[in-house]
Every structure is written in structure tokens, then in C-alpha cells.
Amino acid sequence: MHENCHLSKMSKFCAVDPVTSMNLSLNDQRTLKLPATPVYKMAAPLQYSSDPQALESYTLHYFSTAFTSQDYADALEMSILFFEGQRSGKLPSNQRLTWRGDSGLSDGSAYHVNLVGGYYDAGDNVKFGLPMAFTTTLLAWSVIEFGSSMQNQITNAKAAIRWSTDYLLKAATATPDTLYVQVGDPNMDHRCWERPEDMDTPRNVYKVTIQNPGSDVAAETAAALAAASIVFKESDTSYSTELLHAAMKVFDFADRYRGSYSDSLNSAVCPFYCSYSGYQDELLWGASWLHKASLNGTYLAYIQSNGHTMGSEDDDYSFSWDDKRPGTKILLSKEFLEKTTEEFQLYKSHSDNYICSLIPGTPSFQAQYTPGGLFYKATESNLQYVTSTTFLLLTYAKYLGSNGGVAKCGGSTVTAESLIAQAKKQVDYILGDNPAKMSYMVGFGNKYPQHVHHRGSSVPSIHAHPNRISCNDGFQYLYSSSPNPNVLVGAIVGGPDNRDHFADDRNSYQQSEPATYINAPFVGALAFFSAKN
């Protein structure tokens, strides 16, 4: 995450058709009688190299703004592939983004704990626990709801989850009554522009304990482990059990020793990933996932006893790494919609309030959209809110559809089909159906961000430039006008402003920085649309 980031993070754009080197206007397209549907050029098997020209083999060339189920499937593959570019640790032999190398191999060793692995959150080289855990929860939720539509990508999706849960397990179980929540000094990291393979900034380790609690990050970690335990329940029973047991322990730790990690760790996590919403929302979110994963009545009782003090009766309109309230309501509404469990009717009502706020024309509509139709929440990393909101729209549509339900918006109702249509507009906008005709997913389409705010992507790879590139020497690549030499395939950047304008500027981190939690919920959304004819 960028040095000046507060509530959001990152993004970017740009354009060159690697195959035809043509940028065609609508008039040109009509004159040439180009096909109405996208033309997809794909070599088999896919090869992911650091050469932008090699992107020819998996670049979607669309001359209209309609996307096919195959287009969504291709975007799904890329959206998962992105996580390989964020990996920390010893890379496996089947690593597909081959311009990356091993990094952070001694993380934790100075503190006598093994914290190798996990993900860098965005365009820097810090492993932040709160967004990593949230990313994991959302990746797992994507698989839980839409994994049946992922087809040949389900293995890659599970691998992306496991890369994180392997790390989170170590962080949660290495030391009793302790959760390791961060590796890397963000203030020192942000003073350098260096690829992770060369990283020589302090790899400080930060933890929450009984004396210095962090209920927010701990409960989110519990949610991630619990959600992932559902993902692996059939394919790897012992791993699933290990995840669930760790989730229960870390949730108990979060609940028993209450406090915000922002208060305990201060400038190590703020302003980067301050817990602005507090920790109550994470406690209810974590309990909800444990209820779903364990079927243990303890968590149902916890939800019933504590819900009213933890946000169950609040109407909140932002779902992000910081604020879990809308996600919790929709997750719990399933129990009412599918099982008519009366205790959860409240969550259905508040889910309706949230959903209705997003749908133009309803009495409670209050969301903002750009002139081009993009949901707009924040100047920094707005697409994180677009992808998380889109995921909730589709998940709630699925829950409603299970019994023919509707969202009640005052005197009017909104159908599941309406929610899907609204979600599709957001997905298509990100993929290139927008006023700029710009895909905000790197590598998808014939016009996408070239100057992504990302250290590893913007600095020559260790294969192209084996000699070390030092902390300060790297800044020439931050300020360079040349496209990133290493294509971070599948990365979704922060996105355009409230007028649909996008500066393809590496230094504009608000628009050009990618992040794991932008991609995670989009994986589920793309899976859903890839299964539609």
C-alpha cells in the first residue's frame, strides 16, 4: 500500500494492442465491418512471461462492449493468476508468473518464528495481516458461492487461498496467546522502490497479544480460516479440520482480549490499514463464519447475544477490509431465506436496506455512480468498493433466488434478476465497457493500464537484470514514462475518478495501484458470469 494511503488503495490504465497495434474508433470499426462479438486470440497452453508482446497469446480483442461467457472465463483465469504476482516466500515449481522470484525467505527468523509466505498487499513489499485475512475470506467466499462455476480454475482458486492460509496458520499458531499480524516496517518500505527479490528494508515483525490486543485483525483471521475450512472440507479433510480448529482458537483470543490493533500497533498499521470501524464488526463477522463452518451452537448463541452491540441493527453502506457489517448481514440472511430461521430475519431486513441503497429508482437509493455508470465510493482505490459490492449483489441474488424471494425497498420490491443486472454493469465496466473503453484489469482487452503502481512489476525482473537494484536506484522506474516491463496479469487497479477519467500514471497510486482485496471478490463475480450463456 502506498505511503500516503488512508482508507483505500491504488490503480491504473493504458493502451496498445499487442497484436494489431491499432486503436480503432467506432467509425473505423463500422467501416471495417469488424465482428460484433469479441475476437479472442489464445494460444494453448497459456504462457505467462514478462514480455508485454507475449501477451498476444492471451489478449482479448473486443471491438464491441459485449462480453461472452468465454470472455468472463478468461478474465476469471487472469484474476486468480494475479495472486501469483503478490506471493512472498519460496515460489513453487508451477509458478506461472515467471518474472517473479523468491523473496522474504527469512521473514520472522530474527524473532525465532517462521513467517515465510503469504501475500504482499498491493504495490509494496509489506505483509499486512488485516487486508491479507480479508482477502482470504473473500476468496474463500467466492469459491463457496461460485466455485461450481469455476470449472478448470477451481484448482488455481484453491491454491490462491492456500498460499494465504498456510501463512495465516503459522501466524496464528506459532506462539500461544499471540497472533503475528505484519511483517515489514511500512514507513521504511515506502522510502524504497525495490523489487521484493532485492528487499533489504527492515523486516520487523508485529504481533497482538493479551497485553496488546487486536480483536479486529484476530477475528478477521478467524473468519479467513473458518471460511477456508469450508473450501477444503471435501478435498482435504485434515487440512480443513486444522483450519477450523485454528479459527476457533484465534476467535476465542479475539473475543477474550478485546481491543483494536490500531491502538496496540499505532504507526506500524496507521494510516495504512487503520481499523477505522473498530473491532465489533469483525467479532460478529468472525462468529458468523465460525457458525457456518462449525455448525456449533456456541456461535449461534454468540450471534444472538451480541449481534445488537456489534452492528446487527446498523445500516452501513461500505463493505471493505475495514468494515464487515454489510457482508455479515448478507451472510446471515441466508439462514432466514433458505431455512426460515426467525432469529435471522433482522439480517434479511438490513440486507434489503443495503441492497436497496444501490439500486436506482428505489425509495432508499443513495449510492453514487459516475456518468459512465460505475459505483463510486472513494477517491483512492475506488474499485475495491465496486468489486466487493458487486460480489454482495450476486451473492444476495443467489440467496433470494433459492426461494423466489425479493428485496423489499419501502413499498417496492427488487428481484434477484435486477441485482444481477446491476452487478453485470459493474463487471463489464471494469472489463472495458466504459466511456474510456479501458479495461481496468491488466492484460485483459486491447487497452489496459501500462504504468501500474507496483514495485515488482515496474522494476526489471531478476531474470532480465540479475544484479541488485538498490532502494534509491529503483525510483528511476517509478518515475519512468515507459510501460511496466513485467505484466502483472489480472491485476485490477484503483480505477477512474468520479468523472470516469483515468490517468495512466504510475505515481498516481490512488488510481494505478492494484491490491489483493480488489481482486478477491471479483473472482466470485467473474465465475458467476462465466457460467451464464
Gap between the Cα atoms of 51 and 49, Å rounded: 5
Q: Which residues pair with 208 in a beta bridge?
A: 179
Residues 471 and 191 sit within 8 Å (Cβ to Cβ)? yes
- Given a contact cutoff of 8 angstroms between Cβ atoms, the answer to whether 491 and 358 are in contact is no
Cα–Cα distance measured from residue 287 to residue 277, given in angstroms and rounded to the nearest whole number = 17
Phi, psi of 414, rounded to the nearest 5 degrees:
-125, 130
Containing H/E element for 200?
Answer: none
Give the closest residue to 454 by CA, choosing from 182, 5, 121, 181: 121
Choose, from 352, 428, 500, 504, the residue flagged as catalytic: 504
Helix (H, G, I), strand (E, B) or coil at 128: strand
Cis peptide before 483 (omega within 30 of 0): no
Q: Which of 74, 220, 500, 513 is catalytic?
A: 513
Q: Give me the catalytic one of 190, 350, 453, 454.
A: 453
> CA 167, CA 129: separation in Å to the nearest integer?
10
Longest pairwise C-alpha distance within the chain:
71
Residue type at 128 in one-letter notation:
F
Whole-angstrom Cα distance, residue 528 to residue 133?
23
Nearest CA among 359, 261, 369, 353 for reference residue 316: 353
Rg, the chain, Cα only = 22
Q: Answer yes or no: are the C-beta atoms of 530 and 69 closer than 8 Å.
A: yes
**What single-letter amino acid sits at 215?**
S
Residues 6+ apart with CB under 8 A from 53: 18
C-alpha–C-alpha distance, residues 53 and 74, integer Å: 18
Q: How far is CA 97 from the centre of its chain?
A: 18
DSSP per-residue string spanning 435-485: TT---SBTTSSSB--SS-S-HHHHSPPTTT--S---TTTTHHHHS--SPPS
**DSSP, residue by residue, 293-354:** HH--HHHHHHHHHHGGGTTTT------SSS--HHHHHHHHHHHHHHH--GGGHHHHHHHHHH
Coil vs helix vs strand at 492: strand
Reply yes or no on whether 453 is catalytic: yes
> What is the amino acid identity at position 446?
N
How far apart, in whole angstroms, are the C-alpha atoms of residue 430 and residue 440?
5
166 burial (CB, 10 Å; 0-12 / 13-18 / 19+) is: middle
61 a catalytic residue: no
Q: Residue 453 has which C-alpha cell?
A: 503502481
Active site residue 145: no
Q: Cell 475470506 maps to which residue?
A: 137
> For 72, which DSSP code?
H
Active-site residues, by number, are 453, 504, 513
